[in-house]
Amino acid sequence: MNTNTIDARWHRVPEVWLMVALLGAAVAGSLALAVTAVRHNDQLRGAVPASVASPLPPSAAARPADDATP
């Protein structure tokens, strides 16, 4: 059995080239996304005012002592 002919034909299968192209595109896209995230400054860092109300209810420490007080 000649294994040389089996190993030499992998490049003729179109699906192999599709897998190589998709893998290369995924790696390139991941690197581009990481580079973009590192270079992009955070737009929300100084833009959010300190008086924005939280959508969550206050914790037990932040609740008023009297239940009648809203």
| Arithmetic mean of pLDDT over the chain | 76
Average pLDDT, integer, range 21-29 = 98
Apex 33 CA angle, 28 and 35, nearest 5 = 95
- pLDDT score of 61: 64
Q: Are 24 and 30 a contacting pair, CB within 8 Å?
A: no
- pLDDT score of 60: 64
Top-confidence residue, 37 or 46: 37
